[in-house]
Amino acid sequence: MKDSSDMAPSMLKAGTQKRLWNFLSLGWLPTSVRLLVFGSWGICLGLAALVAHISRAPSYLSDDPEVCVNCHVMRPEYVSWRHSSHAEVAHCNDCHVPQDSFWRHWLFKARDGLWHATVFTMRWEPQVIKLSKRAEPVVEQNCRRCHESLISFTSLREHAPGDLRCWDCHTEVPHGSVRGLATTPGYLDPSLPPVGPNTVGPRIGGREPRASGEGAGR
């Protein structure tokens, strides 16, 4: 027979686990209320999964530039970058997300992503998309990070951070100062169905055409 002193800790542990499970499973609530709570949780999780699927949420964890055109208002920015000199050496995240810290990188990306999704969903996007004041130092730092060898032996080293931004002089890099249908090659890419043979014939006023010879002799 086991000593009572040995059984006490195990019984205490079992009692603690039982109370914890009772709390997590909402056993302290009436059955009808528990069903309502669990049903609401299930609906919320289902809607969250549906929204994540429709919005392609997992794709935002990648560095693929095509992720940015999930939001159609960014298509001119994507196409202008794709036809720029930066297309082969830098992606969207290389310029628009901090690269000096792992945690700062992902926190900035998560915060910006949620804000962009909110703006697009609520239709708050401006007519002309510009770099925000909060994002300016991030892009500036990334410009200097990649072009440090150029800055080191030019007069640019005289400019302190915040004095002049790189794009104050390099206005066309990489998206261009003017963005529209005429400045984004390949922007208009309609996929129209092929025109098949006309098996119906012309209509006049919405009526079928007369058969040949119909009405002759009248």
For 136, other C-beta atoms within 10 Å of its C-beta total 14
Average the pLDDT over each of 21-25, 189-193, 208-212 and give the range with the smallest value. 189-193
Radius of gyration for the alpha carbons in the chain, expressed in angstroms and rounded: 31
The matching CATH number, chosen from 3.90.1300.10, 1.10.3820.10, 3.40.50.300, 1.10.540.10, for 62-186 is 1.10.3820.10
DSSP 150-190: HHTTSGGGGSPTTTS-HHHH-TTSSS-S--STTTSTT----
Q: What is the pLDDT of residues 165-183, one digit of tens each?
A: 888 888 888 887 666 555 5
Residue-range domain boundaries for the chain: 1-54, 62-186
Q: What angle do CA 141, 142, 144 make, to 5 degrees?
A: 65
Q: How far is CA 171 from CA 75, 76, 91, in A?
A: 19, 16, 18
Q: In terms of pLDDT, which residue wins out, 208 or 169?
A: 169
Q: What is the pLDDT of residues 148-166, one digit of tens each?
A: 877 666 555 566 656 778 8
Residues 6+ away with beta carbon under 8 Å from 117: 55, 71
Q: What is the pLDDT of residues 27-39, one digit of tens each?
A: 777 888 888 888 9
Helices (H), the chain: 4-24, 31-54, 75-82, 92-96, 102-122, 136-146, 148-151, 166-169
Indicate the pTM of the whole model: 0.61
Q: What is the pLDDT of residues 63-103, one digit of tens each?
A: 888 888 877 778 888 888 888 888 888 999 999 999 999 99
End-to-end CA distance of the chain: 120
Q: Residue 187, Cα to own-chain centre: how many angstroms?
A: 19
- Residue 139, pLDDT > 90, answer yes
Q: In terms of pLDDT, which residue wins out, 66 or 209?
A: 66
